[in-house]
Amino acid sequence: MTRLIDSHCHLDFDGLSNRLPEVLAAMEANDVGGCMTIGVTLEEAPQVLAIAAAYEQVFASVGVHPEYADHQEPDVETLCALAQHPKVLAIGETGLDYHWHKDQPEWQRERFRVHIRAAKVLNKPLVIHTREAAEDTLAILKEEGADTVGGILHCFTESLAVAEQAIDLGFYISISGIVSFKNAAQVHEVARSIPLDRLLVETDSPYLAPVPYRGKPNEPAYVRHVAEAIANLRQISYAEVATASSRNFLTLFPSSAAVLGPRVGL
């Protein structure tokens, strides 16, 4: 059976970074063949890259999260330099978050544009965070020509209509442990309805642990519960979700295929 790939986790965060051998062993035991650990600041990028370099099954992204106002601002040159590391697959986590920044600050939108421009220079996909900002997120992706690189809308919680617009721009939709929550009707609809060839799975660990671990620290091994919830919603087998989501990851990130393809059985 095809094994899973956790498309979005934070192995450098507290609770995971101090127990990496245990975390990676749990991945193996739960048929998770690889993961992408996500950069959220420039200051922490060296640690993210060091983790990816140390473990064959771990890849990385580099970027500055839209929530983080008081950190070094990225520029195209810096992002491109960090992305020369052979384990870097994507630019991000980037995007827009109007939940915490309700005045919709222009600095956040400009930071997003910088990431898109770097991704285009590198021809690498983007990892997008969008919260209460779907209209502006899609508009900026279109304005900046992000369809030429594509990427992931991660931890997707927007409507099916937004998902469909993102897919039209060449993006994949990554579903997190929220899909296992009973009251997540909008996420359920998206997980049921999007094309299987545009679906990815993730933990966003150490956050958003799926049922039966809800409320506890999350880790990449638990991505199997995300896949199981999606399979139940779509009324298909777990194996179909595992095969599709892992194949989609390798399609989006072909430079990972030589390592992760054999590890997941594709």
Secondary structure in 3-state letters for the chain: CCCEEEEEECCCCCCCHHHHHHHHHHHHHCCEEEEEECCCCCCCHHHHHHHHHHCCCEEEEECCCCCCCCCCCCCHHHHHHHCCCCCEEEEEEEEEECCCCCCCCHHHHHHHHHHHHHHHHHCCCEEEEEECCHHHHHHHHHHCCHHHCCEEECCCCCCHHHHHHHHHCCEEEEECHHHHCCCCHHHHHHHHHCCHHHEEECCCECCCCCCCCCCCCCCHHHHHHHHHHHHHHHCCCHHHHHHHHHHHHHHHCHHHHHHHHHHHCC
pLDDT (mean) for 76-82? 98
User: What pLDDT shows up at residue 129?
Assistant: 97
* 121-156 pLDDT tens trace: 999 999 999 999 999 999 999 999 999 999 999 999
Q: What is the pLDDT of residue 165?
A: 98
Using one digit for the tens of pLDDT, what is the confidence trace for 208-225?
Answer: 999 999 999 999 999 999
